[in-house]
Amino acid sequence: IKEKQENLRSPICCIMGHVDTGKTKLLDCIRGTNVQEGEAGGITQQIGATYFPAENIRERTKELKADAKIKVPGLLVIDTPGHESFTNLRSRGSNLCDLAILVVDIMHGLEPQTIESLNLLRMRNTEFIVALNKVDRLYGWKTSKNAPIRKAMKQQSIDVINEFNTRLTSVITQFKEQGLNTELYYKNREMGETFSIVPTSAISGEGIPDLLLLLVQWAQKTMVETLTYADKLQCTVLEVKVIEGHGTTIDVVLVNGALHEGDQIVVCGSKGPIVTTIRSLLTPHPLKELRVEGKYLHHIEVKAAQCIKITAQGLEHAVAGTSLHVIGPDEDVEEAKKTAMEDMESVMRRIDKSGEGVYVQASTLGSLEALLEFLKSPDVEIPVSGIGIGPVHKKDIMKAGAMLERKKEYATVLAFDVKVTAEARELADRMGVKILCADIIYHLFDRFNGYLKDIKE
Ligand code: GDP
Ligand code: MG
């Protein structure tokens, strides 16, 4: 047993809930940074990952419990997008996770995406803890920065406590209506049967120590099996990014196993499988999110769970949202290539290539899936004839241009969260192909409708 405990990997925790409940802000609060204000429309568009080392968790929780046993090396937290057309991205995020934080706004109770997230978690049998966030918004709340929640509650007037209790009871009732038993975590005697609620404020930090400690202790107590470090590699590409001095890199989440400098890998590419060798393994400094640029630490080996930036040659067309494979010494390269392309091919099969429609370009396989789903929904219904991942290049314009003779308005590239190269823009102008860019999915819809109106006039 001793050996097992010493060999635990970091749990991966996914943070879910309705838009604006404070998911990103909660992470910001634990990290002590401000990603939330830098996001497009304040909505998280890509999955971001942050590693919290055990020392940091110990520091943040010592006021709550000075001698807490933390057996895991840390906690890897993945923030997922909140907009309703992001089910796909969310389902990818929750797929990677061992456990989750479900964030509920104490002033709003359960909202549509809370329920959607809840169902996703139940479907995957993922354990979760409810963060009942924004307690500082209770009328008359007295701030005690970063305090354990019971200590913070002791500072409150009877009116605040009454309002808190009323709202808490109402949330517990709403969960009950969803067939779920929940209870304030320090009153919960049967974790596992009854889900725990931790009141928090992402602004002033009350309850954050409780949330962190509960997550770590719950994980290391009940998930020893899952968290026992295994050699079998499980690794997902989150983002493909050009970084100055490194060329095109991929950000991955290593769920299990280890990666080494010099490993031969295969990843899914939009132009076919990419076989390459890991040049370097980089991690951001702990507590910095992978989305935030900055200096990196170099590693010879990285063990799960971690988020890592990989530099290697030939990653230009790598597809985010797909799995990464390491080719073992006895492994057949051709087999590995086939496996690598499976995710992509399943998405490609979903569009009707013979039909008429716009050309859709997105940053990751996950966001492309989300966008395709959105365009298909009943009140949108924009047909799609072609898709691409990554920056918009000349070849994408050529493909979109094929619609010029059939249906001019479909000679349009809907570019979601991607850059457009200067050459592509120039070619589009010359050919009469329209490029519509947006960082938020439903803005693309608005732009396209605006464009249709312009054409008609
Ligand atoms: P997300 O969509 O769930 O990621 O939500 P954000 O983290 O972007 O937060 C949405 C808004 O709620 C922002 O304006 C935050 O500043 C605010 N917010 C988040 N957490 C809290 C909190 O605990 N208290 C208060 N008063 N505001 C919060
Ligand atoms: Mg967010």
Divide the 457 residues of the chain into consecutive groups of 10 and give the mean pLDDT of each group: 65 89 90 61 56 88 92 85 47 70 97 86 87 98 96 97 98 97 94 94 96 94 86 84 85 91 93 94 73 75 90 90 88 90 78 80 80 82 88 94 92 92 96 91 87 87
| C-beta neighbour count of 23 within 10 angstroms | 27
Would you say the CB of residue 90 lies under 6 angstroms from ligand 1?
no
Tokens coding 326: 């390491």
Backbone angles phi, psi at 170, to 5 degrees: -65, -40
Task: Report how far residue 171's alpha carbon sits from residue 174's, in angstroms, rounded to the nearest whole number.
Answer: 5
Strand (E) or helix (H) holding 57: helix 54-61
Ligand 1 pocket check: which of 15, 29, 36 to mutate, most ligand atoms within 8 Å of Cβ? 36
Bridge partners, 76 (sequence order): 12, 51
Tokens coding 256: 């299990």
Task: Report how far residue 366's alpha carbon sits from residue 321's, in angstroms, rounded to the nearest whole number.
Answer: 5
Ligand 1 pocket check: which of 16, 20, 143, 291 to mutate, most ligand atoms within 8 Å of Cβ? 20
Q: What is the ipTM of this complex?
A: 0.99
pLDDT at 1: 45
pTM: 0.77
Closest CA to 91 of 386, 388, 391, 373: 373
pLDDT at 353: 62
